[in-house]
């Protein structure tokens, strides 16, 4: 990075190109780490050089100084040049970091050009100097501002929960699928299996639910979603006692839940979700033998657990 800046600074003095400095010290440390600030800065500098500008350090007094700040609305990009300051805010909507970097670089280039309008524009792409061996950044095909676009995603998930009910917790293995906007409204399908046992009895509960949720982007890597799920639970039991008159059967019942999911995505297509889902079944379940309780659970329930999430 230092060699690149020094080289472009020398080229600027020789060729009279507009100079641009990038200063990310305006970001808080936490935000800088969430955005992978070092990688973002390299992308911006590289793209500026490819577009015919000269990248220099802020201390060298560039023609345009680019800064980025975190605000409640998102990331505010400012390019201060001969025509004054040009600003643009990019909302943080939970997009993959790769896409967010491309969006930031695209906005930076536009603001730099606006702030340099009265000066000599950079050379055309055909005569632009490019760092040897450096990959070319591709701008998004859709140039509509990101706050006006909706991103549709498919998100399969698999996780393990603790199912809390009166008389004791049980294991719940879940598979899920979400299709919808991110952030925004999405449809959900959830499948689960909860095995359990008691004195002389084995129980399996299969649940199927579908519903909707709304997702909010908390930062570039965190999002929060609340929703409603409705479906059925099939309660199957087998009694393994010689004096049992009822050896086993299956009962289908209503099942509803209000899940709240916090997702952390350290990578573009992989995330970890923390899930809390209070819910209720249509009825409690109790199995007796000669007035002795073999197994019972109440209708109120709480699912808590972790899941691995894929995003495409």
- How many domains are contained in the chain? 2
- Beta-sheet pairing, 54-56 with 19-23: parallel
Query: Looking at the structure, do residues 130 and 12 belong to the same domain, yes or no?
Result: yes
Answer yes or no: do 142 and 232 share one domain: no
Are 143 and 261 part of one and the same domain? Answer: no
Q: Which domain holds residue 166?
A: 152-310
Closest by CA to 77, choosing from 54, 111, 44, 126, is: 111
Q: 251, 235 in Cβ contact below 8 A? A: yes
Q: Are residues 188 and 202 in the same domain?
A: yes
Cβ-proximal residues to 185 (8 Å cutoff; 6+ apart), any chain: 212, 213, 214, 215
Residues 129 and 161 placed together within one structural domain of the fold: no
Domain boundary among 88, 123, 148: 148
- Burial letters for 104-124: b for 16+ Cβ neighbours within 10 Å, e otherwise? bbbbbbebbbebbeebeebee
| Residues paired with residue 254 on neighbouring β-strands, in sequence order | 232
Residue 260 sits in a domain whose CATH number is 2.40.160.20
Please list the pLDDT of the chain residue by residue as tens digits (312 residues). Answer: 444 444 545 544 445 789 999 999 989 898 898 889 999 999 999 999 999 999 999 988 899 999 999 988 889 999 998 888 899 999 887 778 888 899 999 999 999 999 886 544 444 444 333 344 444 444 444 444 444 445 788 999 999 999 999 988 999 999 999 999 988 999 999 999 999 999 999 999 999 999 999 999 888 789 999 999 999 999 999 999 988 888 899 999 999 999 999 999 888 789 999 999 999 999 999 999 988 999 999 999 999 999 999 988
Nearest in space to 154 (alpha carbons), one of 258, 269, 265: 269
Q: How many helices (H) does the chain have, and how many strands (E)?
A: 4, 16
Residues 106, 161, single domain; the answer is no
Q: Which of 148, 163, 194 is the last residue of a domain?
A: 148
Residue 200, Ramachandran bin (φ over 0: left; ψ between -120 and 50: alpha; else beta): left
Q: Where are the alpha helices (DSSP H) in the chain?
A: 2-15, 29-34, 37-50, 97-115
- This prediction has a pTM of 0.61
Claim to verify: residue 295 and residue 227 sit in the same structural domain: yes
Same domain, 159 and 267: yes
Residue 136 shares a structural domain with residue 220: no
Exposed/middle/buried for residue 53 (C-beta within 10 Å: 0-12, 13-18, 19+): buried
Q: Are 85 and 200 in the same domain?
A: no
Instruction: Choose one of 148, 177, 202: the last residue of a domain.
Output: 148
| 171 shares a domain with 142 | no
Q: 292-297 and 74-81: which strand pairing? A: unpaired
């Amino acid at each position: 990075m230092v060699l690149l800046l020094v080289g472009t600074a020398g080229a600027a003095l020789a060729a009279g190109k507009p100079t641009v400095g990038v200063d990310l010290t305006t970001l808080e440390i936490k935000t800088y780490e969430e955005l992978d600030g070092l990688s973002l800065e390299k992308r911006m500098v590289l793209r500026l050089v490819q577009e015919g500008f000269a990248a220099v350090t802020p201390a060298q007094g560039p023609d345009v100084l680019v800064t980025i700040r975190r605000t409640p609305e998102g990331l505010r990009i400012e390019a201060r040049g001969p025509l004054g300051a040009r600003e643009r805010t990019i909302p943080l909507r939970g997009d993959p970091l790769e896409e967010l970097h491309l969006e930031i670089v695209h906005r930076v280039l536009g603001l730099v050009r606006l702030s340099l309008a009265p000066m000599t524009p950079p050379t055309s792409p055909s005569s632009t100097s490019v760092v040897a061996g450096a990959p070319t950044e591709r701008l998004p095909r859709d140039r509509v501002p990101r706050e006006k676009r909706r991103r549709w995603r498919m998100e399969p998930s698999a996780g393990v929960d603790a199912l809390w009910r009166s008389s004791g917790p049980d294991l719940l293995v879940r598979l899920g699928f979400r299709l919808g906007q991110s952030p925004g409204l999405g449809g959900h399908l959830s499948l689960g299996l909860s095995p359990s046992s008691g004195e002389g009895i084995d129980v399996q509960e299969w649940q199927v639910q579908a519903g909707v949720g709304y997702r909010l982007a908390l930062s570039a890597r965190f999002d929060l979603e609340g929703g409603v799920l409705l479906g059925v639970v099939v309660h199957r039991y087998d009694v393994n006692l010689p004096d049992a008159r009822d050896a086993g059967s299956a009962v289908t019942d209503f099942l509803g839940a209000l899940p709240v999911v916090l997702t952390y995505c350290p990578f573009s297509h992989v995330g970890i979700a923390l899930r809390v889902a209070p819910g209720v079944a249509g009825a409690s379940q109790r199995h007796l033998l000669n007035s002795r309780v073999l197994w019972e659970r109440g209708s109120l329930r709480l699912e808590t657990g972790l899941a691995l999430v894929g995003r495409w």
